């Protein structure tokens, strides 16, 4: 398959992606998605943290992959608006899961809901390895203070200090894991997200030796910190439905780009090149420490009811609810701008239907 950047479509969250919309001035030819592009491929998604730790000892010591131990798990950060990280991670992962499945991928989750326990960090790494996934993605949001921290902002990918003691983990993370992490970083930058300006992050990459997941995982792993929940702007985006949707689109783009254009095309010398970031001790650990039982606020109901020609299902209603903020704020352009001059957009029949509905109704 030709190398091209892929933009995940809104409608791929529910029904298979079926239409490719080219960028405004793209020289790339348009193509049609069949829903089988990722057939035979497996993606392991780890929505960081858990809804509840009842009956479990978060301080239980587990293998950190480097001959030492660390806490089993933490509760995760809480955004400035009171939304727990585990819920943000869960919402984004569900959108990514649906998008990948619409292209034929098999998706394995580290936890099955946002209410119960999700497992210690070593258990999640073992589950990722046992899934034999083509790539694993751990989805997190960072924090740097209990309250507001206006000066620190941005996304980053955590990559492990090399070498890793376990040979299989070292091979996976020094090869595909590093490559996929760089592709995810590039997807974030291409979509307008700003790399983090703290904790030794270098162009969106942060090298660390204290995060157990990458050191224990024997398949390529991308560890995403979507933003800083202590920063007002980052927090607002992480909390909002349209912000979570934008993160999901970007994460899906990074995953699909790696799966379709990854290791076969990257020169070996590039895979072996370690990032220039200096290992530091960040202010927020692999699993941030704060906890809350606040749940994600529900999005407002869409102003317009779709006509009877649109798909009728619980999933469709949920997607319409999720799209409402984006459509109300950005109008029709909110759908059209899913593509830019560097990307093609995977847009499903549902997205096409929504655009036709909006256009026929005269827009917002």
Sheet holding 6-7, edge to edge: 6-7, 344-348, 17-21
269 labelled catalytic: no
Q: How far, in Å, are 292, 295, 348 from residue 330 at the CA level?
A: 31, 26, 19
Query: Can you tell me whether residue 204 is helix, strand or coil?
Result: coil
- Indicate which residue of 225, 269, 318, 330 is catalytic: 225
Please check whether residue 205 is in contact with residue 184, taking contact to mean a CB–CB distance below 8 angstroms.
no
C-alpha distances in Å from residue 63, one per residue of 9, 121, 172, 211, 213 = 39, 9, 18, 11, 10
- Residue 56 CA to residue 283 CA, distance in Å, equals 25
Q: Which of 128, 142, 110 is nearest to 46 (CA)?
A: 110
Helix (H) or strand (E) holding 127: helix 121-130
Q: How far apart are CA 256 and CA 260, in angstroms?
A: 6
The 10 Å Cβ neighbour count of residue 41 is: 19
- CA 219 → CA 11, 175, 193, distances in Å? 29, 10, 27
Query: Which tokens sit at 242?
Result: 């349209």
| Active-site residue list | 225
């Amino acid at each position: 398959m030709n190398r091209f950047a892929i933009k995940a479509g809104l409608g791929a969250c529910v029904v298979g992606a079926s239409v490719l919309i080219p960028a405004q001035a793209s020289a790339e030819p348009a193509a049609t998605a069949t829903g089988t592009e990722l057939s035979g491929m497996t993606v392991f998604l780890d929505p960081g943290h858990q809804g509840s730790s009842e009956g479990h000892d978060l301080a239980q010591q587990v293998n950190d992959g480097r001959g030492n131990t660390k806490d089993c798990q933490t509760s995760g950060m809480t955004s400035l608006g009171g939304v727990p990280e585990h819920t943000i991670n869960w919402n984004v992962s569900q959108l990514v899961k649906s998008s990948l499945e619409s292209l034929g991928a098999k998706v394995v989750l580290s936890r099955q809901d946002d209410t119960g326990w999700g497992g210690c960090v070593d258990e999640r790494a073992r589950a990722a390895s046992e899934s034999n996934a083509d790539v694993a993605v751990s989805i997190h949001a960072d924090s740097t203070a209990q309250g507001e921290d206006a000066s620190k902002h941005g996304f980053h990918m955590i990559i492990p200090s090399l070498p890793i003691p376990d040979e299989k983990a070292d091979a996976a993370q020094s090869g595909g894991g590093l490559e996929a992490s760089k592709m995810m970083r590039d997807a974030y930058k291409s979509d307008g997200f700003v790399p983090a300006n703290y904790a030794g992050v270098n162009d969106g990459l942060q090298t660390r030796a204290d995060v157990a997941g990458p050191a224990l995982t024997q398949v390529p792993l991308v560890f995403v910190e979507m933003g800083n929940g202590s920063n007002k702007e980052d927090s607002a985006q992480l909390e909002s439905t349209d912000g979570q949707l934008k993160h999901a689109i970007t994460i899906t783009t990074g995953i699909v780009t790696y799966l379709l254009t990854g290791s076969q095309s990257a020169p070996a010398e590039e895979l072996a090149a370690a990032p220039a970031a200096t290992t530091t001790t960040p202010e927020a650990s692999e699993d941030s420490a704060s906890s809350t039982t606040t749940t994600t606020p529900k999005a407002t109901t869409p102003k317009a009811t779709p006509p009877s020609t649109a798909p009728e299902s619980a999933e469709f209603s949920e997607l319409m609810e999720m799209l409402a903020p984006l459509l109300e704020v950005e109008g029709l352009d909110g759908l059209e701008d899913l593509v830019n001059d560097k990307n093609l957009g995977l847009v499903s029949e549902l997205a096409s239907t929504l655009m036709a509905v909006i256009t026929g109704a005269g827009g917002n």
